[in-house]
Amino acid sequence: MTPTPHDRARGPLRSAFLTLLAALVSLLAATLLAAPPAAASDTAAEAAPRAALTEITGFGTNPSNLQMYLYVPQNVTAKPAIVVAVHYCTGSGPAMYNGTEYASLADRYGFIVVYPSVTRSSKCFDVASPQALTRGGGSDPVGIKSMVDWTVRTYGADTGRIFATGISSGAMMTNVLLGDYPDVFAAGAAFAGVPFACFATTNGSEWNSDCANGTVIRTPKAWGDLVRGAHPGYTGPRPRMQLWHGTTDDVLRYPNFGEEIKQWTNVHGVAQTPAATDSPQSGWTRTRYGGTGDRAPVEAISLQGTGHNVYAWGMGARVLTFFGLDGSGPAPQPPAGPCKVTVTTQAWSTGLTASVTLTNTGTTAVDGWKLGFTLPAGQTVTGGWGATYTPASGAVTATNAAYNAAIAPGASVSIGYQANHTGNSAAPSAYTLNGTSCTRG
């Protein structure tokens, strides 16, 4: 068949069209290959709205059907820390969110809070079964670990700054999480809990009356072996532990506090004799083991005359100090070298001023410092300069200002404070710089 003029014209047009189409396909492919993947922040923004408690589903392996609630602050930091806040019996994730200040602290410091929530009828966490007391054994710890893993993946969280805290049943779970997953959690804070495995049962019961009544007494090594047995063969660093208990607790009785101290000092291989003892608040006795600074391996706070409801608003800030999330950085201040403190006071009937000179007598610079000292009884700081002073009485920590954080070898900084007194106007007798004792000048 002889082609018509129209057919002859259509051939070149088809060829040109196919050439153009091929070029467009190549260009599209190149554009797709060159396009960057979605940023973690974009994915995170879709996962949960900012500054709102949000339930997350499908977060991973969850053998006991826990619920996961998440709080992401509006201004979450890059590589944020994670705090797992674990509720008490009869509680829930939302109740823990509403009843503690961790969300507002997250707003201030940029970390993420995970609130696990029990769905079983008791609303208590499983801290008793063999599955719960074994790494990867099943039950609640596995579900909570999945929540942590999901948050790390979704928000690019810092795996070196994952923490757990809880109240009552949540405090017991904090002990369990640190025992099962020492490679996941950097530290924990347990309010009115019991040692790891103290509640252990094999008959399916969630309650252990002997432990609750404080009659389960073991040697430090026996307690430590229970923790080590949860993850056999693990030889890495162990999470630091902060413990809180009221002396008149009638639910999980006070002897459990001493047993927890025995357990975690043994786990850390430090002496049971406190390295430091002070009273940060009236009626409180704080002991630190294996170190004297804010982030000792084990810190224990006993509250005289306080019952089972030991947690009070404001304690979360002290937890953050122990965790290292209160703005002073993700790790403890480095130990200082030799230091000297010279102090002079001027007193009158009910008040005084103290002028303090801190000298770095070592050979390396100090970059960021905390000067610790204990005020004599009856003295209360009312103001100061050159540092921030907290708390106002008892064991006080003076933290550097922005302009005087660095102290070169041989250099000094001058700070001071005003205080009221009830008769004793003496200066403190001892000082520590980032946990290291200073000589008095």
- Report the catalytic residues: 168
Residue-level length of the chain: 441
CA separation (Å) from 144 to 18, 68, 75, 187, 308? 57, 8, 24, 15, 25
Q: Phi/psi class of residue 290: alpha, beta or left (left: φ > 0; alpha: ψ in -120 to 50)?
A: left
Spatial separation of the C-alpha atoms in residues 377 and 419, rounded to whole Å: 12
Cα dist from 297 to 90, 149, 243, 261, whole Å = 31, 25, 11, 11
- CB 35: neighbour CB atoms within 10 A? 8
From CA 289, how far away is CA 264, in angstroms rounded? 10
Task: Convert 111-121 to b/e letters by CB count within 10 Å (16 or more is b).
Answer: bbbbbbbbeee
Amino acid at 41: S
How many other CB atoms are found less than 10 A from the CB of residue 148? 24
CA proximity to 100, closest of 10, 189, 204: 189
**Region of residue 233 (left: phi > 0; alpha: psi -120 to 50; beta: else):** left
